[in-house]
Amino acid sequence: MLADKNEARTSLEELGEFGLIKHLTKGFSIHQESTLKGIGDDAAILDFKDSKAVVSTDLLIEGVHFDLSYMPLKHLGYKAVVVNLSDIYAMNAMATQITVSLAVSNRFPLEALEEFYSGVAAACKVYGVDLIGGDTTSSTKGMLISITAIGQAVEKDIVYRNGAKENDLLVVTGDLGGAYLGLQVLERENEVFKVNPGNQPDLEPYAYLVERQLKPEARKDVVELLEKLEVSPTAMIDISDGLSSEILHLCGQSEVGCNLYEDKIPLDPTVISTSEEFKMDSTMIALSGGEDYELLFTIDQNDFPKIKGNPSLTVIGHMCEKAEGAHLVARDSSKIPLKAQGWNSF
**Tens digit of each residue's pLDDT (9 = 90 or more) over 200-210:** 778 999 999 99
pLDDT of residue 60: 95
Interval 233-238 mean pLDDT: 98
pLDDT of residue 153: 92
Structural Rg of the chain based on CA atoms: 21
Say if strands 257-261 and 313-320 run parallel, antiparallel, or are unpaired. Answer: antiparallel
pLDDT of residue 344: 56
Structural domain count of the chain = 2
Interval 135-140 mean pLDDT: 92
Is residue 233 predicted with pLDDT exceeding 60? Answer: yes
Which CATH number fits the domain that encloses residue 117? Answer: 3.30.1330.10
What tens digit of pLDDT does each residue of 149-163 get? 999 999 999 999 999
Interval 17-43 mean pLDDT: 76
Q: Is 178 inside any structural domain?
A: yes
What tens digit of pLDDT does each residue of 59-105 get? 999 999 999 999 999 999 999 999 999 999 999 999 999 999 999 99
Share of the chain above pLDDT 90, in %: 79
- Residue 132 sits in the same domain as residue 194: no
Q: Is 134 inside any structural domain?
A: yes
- Residue 194 sits in the same domain as residue 301: yes
- Residue 182 sits in the same domain as residue 120: no
Which CATH number fits the domain that encloses residue 288? Answer: 3.90.650.10
Nearest to 113 by CA among 211, 17, 180: 17
Is residue 28 predicted with pLDDT exceeding 90? Answer: no
Integer angstrom CA distances of residue 336 from 170, 258, 270, 297: 17, 11, 26, 21
pLDDT of residue 26: 83
pLDDT of residue 196: 85
Task: Pick the more confident residue, 21 or 179.
Answer: 179
| Residues 20, 7: Cα–Cα separation, whole Å | 19
pLDDT of residue 34: 82
pLDDT of residue 343: 52
Nearest to 240 by CA among 176, 147, 325, 317: 176
Is residue 55 predicted with pLDDT exceeding 70? Answer: yes
> Looking at 103, 131, 157, which one is the last position of a domain?
157
pLDDT of residue 41: 64
Q: Is 342 inside any structural domain?
A: no
Is residue 346 predicted with pLDDT exceeding 50? Answer: no
Which structural domain range is residue 199 located in? Answer: 169-337
